[in-house]
Amino acid sequence: MLRILCLVLCGLLTHTRADPGALLRLGMDIMNHEVQSAMDESHILEKMAAEAGKKRPGVKPIKGITDMKVKDVKLPVITLSFTPGVGIFQCVSTGMTITGKSFIGKNMEITVVLNITATNRLLQDEETGLPVFKSEGCEVILGSVKTNLPSNMMPNVINKFLDSTLHKILPGLMCPAIDAVLVYVNKKWANLNDAMPIGQMGTVKYVLTSIPTTTANYIQVDFSPVVQQPKGNTIKLADTGEAHEFPDDYAEGSSQLLLSAAFLTAELALLQKSFDVNIQDKMIGELPPQTTNTLAGFIPKVAEAYPKSKPLMTQIRINKPSKVTMKAGKSLLHFHGTLEMFAAQRRGKAPASLFLLEAHFNLKIQYSVREDRLQMTTSLDRLLSLSRKSSSIGAFDEKELTGFITDFLQEAYIPAVNDVLQVGLPLPDFLDMNYNLAELNIVENALVLDLKLG
């Protein structure tokens, strides 16, 4: 009994287990768009007509009709609906005219309107790990049938024709069309597993956590993204233990991509080294000249040590992994590191360290999408702490430097960080998704992209 309970509970636990770094919710808008464009790309209409016109071995000619041809296949109208737990139910409404010679030698035309229905089951390809649709239970449902045969030949001939022939022939003609469309839809997932570069610093791969799930309103794809350094070391996503949820205020039928803060943090870990910078420009933006003279205005001891003004050189080293956090509407990038200021010496001599400060500061992140990459731009949110670790000019109160360092971070360091971030973070490549129209929202512990079709 206990064991059974555990099986059930443990099963539930693994299901709600901490989550994938990214979630994708595909609504009907995207599925309709994809299937429709797959229909266009696969030239299904032409293929159906060509198929229909072919002489096929093994198919008996229709009794009483010779020289049969299919023409005027009508532009198919596709209707999709989600089948929870399975995939997508697809109905293709179309029609066609079948021509031939009747047994009394007259030209005859039969115009049928029909629906082809099938269930496209959503699976995960065992070999590639990619999502695939596979059609099942294809059926042809006849709607209206019109003919130019004299009415006294109806309904007998027609009924026979329908029963014995159309029902047998049409699925063979029409069902491959459904499969052909799916081939095109499936192809659009093909790049999903590819490792996408983050500059020269590493790659990210959107690997499926499990078989996508289908509900009555959407398909959900859970990703366990793999973030890798060039040498192949994988950066583990921090397990925050929180389950990520899509906010439920999105329009029905719409599609969203959710990227967790833990995932973005792992991606930024690839860039970590680039956040260490040396800054030695004398004039930076609106800042006063970067010299010991300026610094002496805050710490008089600097003037004692350097009566003659020297240019400053600043070294910033981020010594803890930077971290992205998100609260509704606001996202921060946390930096812990050291800031060391040096006075430049005469030619050939190494700069002399004035002091080394330990600093914790936050940057506010603004997200956008450019060329299907997530872009981040930061600005200084707050300098949270500053503490002196060493000094060659004697003790001083580092608080006196708060304003100076805050301005320095904003004007000199943040532009360097933004330069590094320009590389952009790749978004999952699937179904020819164009992310450039996406609307971005910061929610609890995640960024949600509301995907829009062009």
Ligand X SMILES: *[C@@H]1O[C@H](CO)[C@@H](O)[C@H](O)[C@H]1NC(C)=O
Size of the site for ligand X (CB under 6 A): 6
Shortest Å, Cβ 214 to ligand X: 19
Please report, as residue ranges, which positions from 99 to 118 form the binding site for ligand X (by CB under 6 A): 115
Shortest Å, Cβ 215 to ligand X: 21
User: Helix 44-53 and helix 167-187: axis angle, to 10°?
Assistant: 150
Bridge partner list, 383 = 361
Is 141 a binding residue for ligand X by CB under 6 A? The answer is yes
- For ligand X, give the closer residue by CB, 78 or 287: 78
- For ligand X, give the closer residue by CB, 97 or 418: 97
Is 93 a binding residue for ligand X by CB under 6 A? The answer is yes
Bridge partner list, 386 = 359
Shortest Å, Cβ 145 to ligand X: 11
Shortest Å, Cβ 115 to ligand X: 4
Is 79 a binding residue for ligand X by CB under 6 A? The answer is yes
Tell which one of 143, 230, 253, 394 touches ligand X (CB under 6 A).
143
φ, ψ at 323 (rounded to 5°)? -135, 135
Is 137 a binding residue for ligand X by CB under 6 A? The answer is no
- For ligand X, give the closer residue by CB, 117 or 314: 117
- For ligand X, give the closer residue by CB, 85 or 143: 143
Tell which one of 91, 180, 277, 303 touches ligand X (CB under 6 A).
91
Shortest Å, Cβ 110 to ligand X: 16
Shortest Å, Cβ 212 to ligand X: 24
Shortest Å, Cβ 112 to ligand X: 10
Is 293 a binding residue for ligand X by CB under 6 A? The answer is no
- For ligand X, give the closer residue by CB, 93 or 209: 93
Compose the 35-74 pattern: x for residues touching ligand X by CB under 6 A, - for all others.
----------------------------------------
Is 32 a binding residue for ligand X by CB under 6 A? The answer is no
Q: Which positions lie near ligand X, rule CB under 6 A?
A: 79, 91, 93, 115, 141, 143
